[in-house]
Every structure is written in C-alpha cells, then in structure tokens.
Structure 1
Amino acid sequence: MKETEELREQALADAEDLRGAIGRLVRLVREGETLPSNQAAVLGHLVRDGALPIVELARRERVRHQSMARTVALLDSAKLVSLSQDQEDRRRIVVEASELGISTLKEARRIRSGALADAIENVLPVAERGSVRDVVEFLNRLADSMNLPGPT
C-alpha cells in the first residue's frame, strides 16, 4: 500500500511540474500575439474541417453556445469568418473561415512556431531534438486519455 501511495504522490508532483512548465511555455509563446487563442482555435477548426455550425464549434471547444456566439461575432466583425444559415435547419448559423481568416491564422501559427523553433535550435543540442517529438507524442496521449467533460 505504501508503494502505491508513493507512486501516486510522485504522479501528483510530476503532474504539477508538467502543468507549470506547459503553462509557462504557453504564456511565453503567446507574448505579442494579435489573435486571441480562443479565436485562433475556432479558425483552426474551420480551416481544418470546413464550415461548421456555432453549436458544433462550442462542443469542440467545450464552451457554452453563448460564449462561442460571442467569439464568432468578434471574428465576423474582423472579417475573419463569414456566416450563413444552415440549409437544413434555417435556425442554425454556419461559420466559415474567410480568406483573411485563413491568412491571419497562418501568420499567427508561423509566429508561434517560429518562436518555439528558435528556442529549440538555440537551446537543445542536435542529439536532444528528437526528444521533442517524443514529448509531443506523450502529451497527445495524455490529452487523449483525459476526456474531461465540457460545460453543460
């Protein structure tokens, strides 16, 4: 029993360290961003998957419909998306990334990825850079396993 408790305590300590390191890295990468992360996430869904109803965007981002409607309104006012009525259910609004939205997202990603790439090149020896790919795989496995419920 003692070994199980020690393993749990170590897992909790590791989780706290990981959460702190990821949070710090995310904050540093986001410095100077012009596109807020919630808007970038919505544009990412639209660029990857095409036009989607607001309700589906809310489900994917695990936010309430009203919150997603506000985010979409901001994107629309900046001309980053276009809105239309769903042809099957005229009450639903379908959101699609505009050309400006696509190019804005690409630029935001280029800036974020560039900052990380610079750090990787300047800090990690070539022999350690393969570890980055391993870490990404581990983090994705952890994220996939969590499946936390969203808002109701």
Structure 2
Amino acid sequence: MPSTSERNSMIRAESSVDVPRSAEDVFAFLADGTNNTRWRSGVHEIRHIRGRGVGAEYEQLLTGPGGRTMRANYRVVASEEPTRLDFEVTAGPARPRGSFTITPVSPTSCRVTFAIKLEPQGVMKFVHGMIAAQVAAEATAIQNLPRAMSMS
C-alpha cells in the first residue's frame, strides 16, 4: 500500500508490491534502468550513459509536476545484489534519492519496496503539495512491476 509522509520540508513516499519472480530476476530488471519505460508510465525516454553497478548513470526524460517534460538523470549510489539498489537524481529541478528493497519470499517470488525522498529547494517549496503528489505517484508506479516483468 502506498504511503507518503512529510516532516518539515522533506517529502517521502513508499510503496510495496509482491512479484512472482526471484529476487535475482527482479534485481537484474531494476538495475537495468532502460527497463524504466516498461513500468514507469511517466518516463518518456531513457538511455544508459556509463558504468555498471554502483556508479551506473542514466539519462531520462519524464513527466514532472504540472505535466511538463523534464530531465531527471540519475546515478546508482549503492547496490547489494539481489536485495537493495539505491539511486540519486543528478540532473533536473528536483534531486530525489530512492531505493529498491527486495525481500525474497520464496525461491520464485519476492516483495519489492520502492522508497523516495526529496527535500524541496528554492521555489519548489512553494509548490510542495504538487511535488508531494508527484513523488507519491513515482513510488506507486512500482505496482506496475509484476505486469512489466511478466512480459519479459
């Protein structure tokens, strides 16, 4: 179930889903950022720039608050295969950090939790509610993962 919390100006959102695939399969799918268009409807384009594992970088264009297209490049900052993958957005007006926590339930299924946090800066503080809604929508997109992976 998705959840969002705000403390001070920090915005946090989290959502979990059960996936009928092994933790290793899910980790590999999420670690390849070019799969983002398959489960995140707001991603228009994405391409791998460089690196693998920690340090991997991706360039992406996505729908931001108010429906505007924005750049939101990101870099993988932590990786514990097959249970955790963390990233930070490195380009664009918002610079959230996110993590995927993958918990094996059986050899052929796992639970994935997608958490995002963002501290709005500058003028973003004036549209806090709109940004919080966008962050919540991003976290909730993880609900699309089982369907996306069933097609791979």
TM-score (norm 1): 0.31
TM-score (norm 2): 0.31
- Please state which structure has a larger fraction of its residues in strand: 2
Q: Which has the higher contact order (CA 8 A, sep 6+)?
A: 2
Greater CA radius of gyration, 1 or 2?
1
